[in-house]
């Protein structure tokens, strides 16, 4: 793929530009020495149908369930933080995940290909961090995770502008089997912010009628005791007292050899308490936030020779009945967010040269917010709900055209019609070339589209966070982007080597961000849009469109197996963003580190025993979400290590030490990092 002229200068300075000629020069000689068949990794997220990961028209990372089982991971954030281009911010039960320098609102989570509600579902006064991953399936349920780094709006629409994380759960088994896990996490004596944590989960599944009808049940409980206080500036925080309960079930009916129907549902309840003198400053008021999320779905998969079809109806109902103390009535004034999604698509193997996919999506959102609406507005009804709803209808089509052996061109187009913002086209063109048995070259141009969230566009909505009070803006326009990426993947199983390099650049128009300038300075009353806002210690800002913005970056990854029982993996991510126009010209788009790197080692001294260690470096970044103006966060490195030992065929013991050096890091934008803690877990399978 030929890069546009204006990107040649940027590309020529990257490490990948230097490495690519060397890879091409050596690829032929190395490929001739390859004697083992490459084990194909099959993915479904990039195209909506099964294909070899080397043929996928995207930069994609796969994490298998067996990889998860060989680590002492406690939650989904632990699993994802080692993926190139992925950033995990926050700590404890309040973490958010973003891809390629964009905020978590640009990352679409899928569960078995069905979209989960966004991270803003429970954005009570800006406090939605950590809620989204709280409602993901337990780790024992996960078969694999597929991560698309970069826009996937052509297939998945508005919410996939930054990337997609598809959590694929284990299928209902033809034999009865299950697993139970119990975990306890103890904070070190010098750890001032974390409380004790405990986690239990189970999964059991099997046939009700052999080869026809099967059922899967899952559930769990997770708790974190309230931690202490860590202080930065005038803010103090620590782990909240947190409790989570979840239960789920799904039934699969194989109607015949061609058609499979799956129906299921789940419920997750969470409670967060914060008390003065514990996780809050002694002078602060106690707080409580409770939330419930229900999910129901019905899915059909059909295979008819060269044609396959899939349809699902997915319903999410989220409720946060938090009492708003400022409400005159004193009744529960919470948040109810309902999302209904209907999706249907089909794939046709049209001869040897083409694979065609087409489909449609209907999405309906309704939000009733009584917890944050008009909290800070003098001349509004403080007992009122803000009700927001809209629908979006989309149609999409994609063609994978195999031009010749080893060379394929994928083109696609999606049309989104939003009730508030009319229609928009999102095209894509992507080329994949298998240069040899070991080397694959990829590149393309991908467009993105994101409509403002319901809250961002509501004129009578406001929410409070450390960055100030954010006021909804009815004049917002959808943001659009064009991304260019070029990458190489090199894999030699006979050498134990796997390497990849990707450079990308994303240009935004009408990028949505919070204004750097204040509508009203801290501690000064404000009039805006016909409403009066009282003085606030952090001041008032508004969500705005930035005319133009840019993100460019580099992702390097290397996996190497030294011997049959010793392996290493490393990756490096460069992320650089800039607002090109407007009042915040020259400022970064989000609070993301420019440099990040990871190094991991795995040693299996005997069958059934695995020792692991990993180090994660997070570089400095400029925070733009502070009332006092931009500030630079500190860089830091965290080291974790652990052991996994199979005591018996079906009994495994795990032990891990996280933040071995008990590194203390705190800043008012990214929160704080967890202190040193010891995790012990037992897993029993049957």
pLDDT at 277 over 90: no
Confidence (pLDDT) at 299: 98
Which burial class, exposed, middle or buried, applies to 298 when counting CB atoms under 10 A from its CB (0-12, 13-18, 19+)? middle
Q: How far apart are CA 449 and CA 455, in angstroms?
A: 18
pLDDT at 678 over 60: yes
Q: Stretch 496-516: mean pLDDT, rounded?
A: 90
**What is the number of structural domains in the chain?**
1
234: left (phi over 0), alpha (psi -120 to 50) or beta: alpha
The CATH number covering residue 338 comes to 2.40.170.20
Q: How far apart are CA 419 and CA 29, in angstroms?
A: 56
Confidence (pLDDT) at 198: 92
Q: How far apart are CA 630 and CA 585, in angstroms?
A: 13
Q: Which of 7-21, 68-82, 419-433, 547-561 has the lowest mean pLDDT?
A: 7-21
Confidence (pLDDT) at 523: 82
Confidence (pLDDT) at 190: 74
pLDDT band at 632 (very low <50, low <70, confident <90, very high): low
Q: Stretch 283-291: mean pLDDT, rounded?
A: 80
Confidence (pLDDT) at 655: 96
Confidence (pLDDT) at 177: 95
pLDDT single digits (tens) 544-559: 888 888 999 999 999 9
pLDDT band at 407 (very low <50, low <70, confident <90, very high): very high
Confidence (pLDDT) at 347: 97
Nearest to 153 by CA among 107, 97, 87: 107
Q: Stretch 368-396: mean pLDDT, rounded?
A: 67
Q: Which of 159-163, 165-169, 391-395, 435-439 has the lowest mean pLDDT?
A: 159-163
Confidence (pLDDT) at 319: 86
Confidence (pLDDT) at 280: 76
Between 274 and 29, the higher pLDDT residue: 274
Confidence (pLDDT) at 525: 80
DSSP category for residue 285: P
Please state the pTM of the whole predicted model. 0.87
pLDDT band at 120 (very low <50, low <70, confident <90, very high): low
Q: Which of 114-123, 128-137, 260-269, 323-332 has the lowest mean pLDDT?
A: 323-332
Q: How far apart are CA 215 and CA 205, in angstroms?
A: 6
pLDDT band at 94 (very low <50, low <70, confident <90, very high): confident
- Contact in structure between 523 and 535 (CB atoms under 8 Å): yes
pLDDT single digits (tens) 559-576: 999 999 999 999 999 999
Helices 15-32, 5-12: crossing angle, 10 deg rounding: 80
- Share the mean pLDDT of the chain: 83
Confidence (pLDDT) at 74: 84
Range of the domain at 179: 5-685
Confidence (pLDDT) at 308: 97
Between 671 and 143, the higher pLDDT residue: 143
Q: How far apart are CA 150 and CA 153, in angstroms?
A: 9
3-state secondary structure 400-442: EEEEECCEEEEEEEEEEEECCCEEEEEEEEEEEEECCCCEEEE
Q: Stretch 331-346: mean pLDDT, rounded?
A: 84
Confidence (pLDDT) at 461: 67
pLDDT at 325 over 50: no
């Amino acid at each position: 793929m030929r890069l546009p002229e204006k990107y040649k200068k940027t590309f020529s300075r990257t490490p990948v530009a230097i490495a690519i000629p060397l890879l091409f020069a050596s690829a032929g000689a190395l490929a001739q020495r390859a004697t083992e068949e490459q084990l194909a990794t099959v993915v479904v997220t990039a195209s909506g149908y099964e294909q070899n990961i080397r043929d996928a028209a995207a930069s994609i990372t796969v994490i298998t369930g067996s990889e998860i089982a060989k680590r002492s991971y406690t939650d989904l954030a632990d699993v994802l933080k080692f993926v190139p281009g992925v950033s995990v911010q926050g700590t404890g039960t309040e973490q958010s995940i973003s891809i390629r320098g964009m905020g978590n609102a640009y990352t679409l989570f899928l569960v078995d290909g069905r979209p989960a509600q966004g991270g803003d579902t429970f954005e009570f006064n800006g406090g939605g961090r950590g809620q989204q991953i709280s409602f993901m399936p337990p780790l024992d349920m996960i078969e694999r995770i597929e991560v698309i780094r970069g826009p996937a709006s052509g297939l998945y629409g508005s919410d996939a502008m930054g990337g997609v994380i598809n959590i694929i759960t284990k299928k209902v088994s033809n034999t009865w089997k299950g697993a139970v896990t119990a975990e306890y996490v103890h904070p070190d004596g010098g750890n001032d912010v974390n409380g004790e944590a405990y986690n239990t989960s189970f999964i059991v599944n099997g046939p009700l009628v052999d080869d026809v009808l099967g059922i899967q049940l899952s559930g769990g409980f997770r708790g974190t005791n309230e931690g202490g206080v860590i202080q930065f500036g005038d803010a103090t925080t620590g782990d909240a007292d947190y409790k989570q309960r979840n239960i789920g079930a799904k039934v699969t009916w194989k109607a015949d050899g061609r058609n499979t129907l799956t129906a299921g549902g789940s419920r997750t309840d969470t409670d967060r308490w914060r008390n003065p003198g514990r996780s809050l400053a002694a002078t602060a008021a106690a707080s409580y936030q409770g939330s419930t999320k229900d999910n129901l779905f019905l899915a059909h998969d059909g295979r008819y020779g060269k044609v396959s079809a899939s349809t699902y109806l997915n319903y999410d109902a989220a409720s946060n009945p938090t009492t708003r103390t400022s409400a005159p009535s004193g009744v529960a004034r919470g948040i109810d967010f309902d999302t209904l999604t209907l999706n249907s698509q089909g794939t046709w193997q049209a001869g040897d040269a083409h694979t065609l996919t087409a489909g449609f999506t209907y999405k309906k959102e309704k939000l009733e917010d009584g917890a944050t609406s008009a909290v800070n507005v003098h001349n509004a009804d403080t007992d009122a709900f803000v009700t927001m709803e809209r629908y979006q209808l989309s149609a999409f089509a994609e063609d994978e055209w195999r031009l010749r052996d080893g060379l394929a061109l994928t083109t696609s187009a999606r049309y989104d019609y939003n009730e508030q913002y009319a229609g928009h086209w999102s095209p894509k063109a992507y080329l994949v070339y298998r240069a040899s048995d070991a080397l694959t070259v990829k590149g393309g141009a991908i467009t993105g589209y994101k409509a403002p969230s319901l809250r961002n566009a509501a004129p009578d909505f406001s929410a409070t966070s450390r960055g100030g009070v954010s006021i909804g803006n009815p004049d917002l326009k959808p943001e659009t982007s064009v991304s260019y990426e070029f990458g190489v993947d090199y894999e030699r199983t006979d050498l134990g080597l796997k390497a990849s390099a990707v450079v990308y650049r994303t240009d935004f128009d009408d990028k949505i961000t919070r204004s750097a300038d204040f509508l009203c300075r801290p501690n000064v009353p404000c009039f805006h849009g016909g409403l009066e806002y009282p003085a606030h210690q952090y001041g008032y800002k508004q969500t705005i469109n930035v005319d133009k913005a840019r993100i460019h970056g580099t992702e390097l990854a290397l996996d190497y197996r030294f011997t049959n029982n010793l392996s290493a993996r490393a990756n490096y991510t460069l992320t650089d963003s800039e607002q090109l126009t407007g009042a915040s010209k020259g400022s970064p788009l989000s609070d993301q580190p420019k440099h990040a790197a990871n190094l991991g080692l795995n040693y299996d001294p005997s069958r059934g025993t695995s020792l692991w260690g990993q180090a994660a470096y997070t570089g400095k970044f400029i925070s733009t979400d502070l009332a006092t103006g931009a500030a630079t966060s500190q860089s830091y490195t965290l080291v974790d290590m652990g052991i996994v030992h199979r005591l018996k065929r079906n009994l495994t013991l795990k032990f891990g030490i996280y933040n071995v050096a008990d590194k203390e890091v705190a800043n008012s934008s990214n929160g704080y990092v967890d202190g040193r803690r010891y995790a012990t877990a037992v897993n029993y399978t049957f």
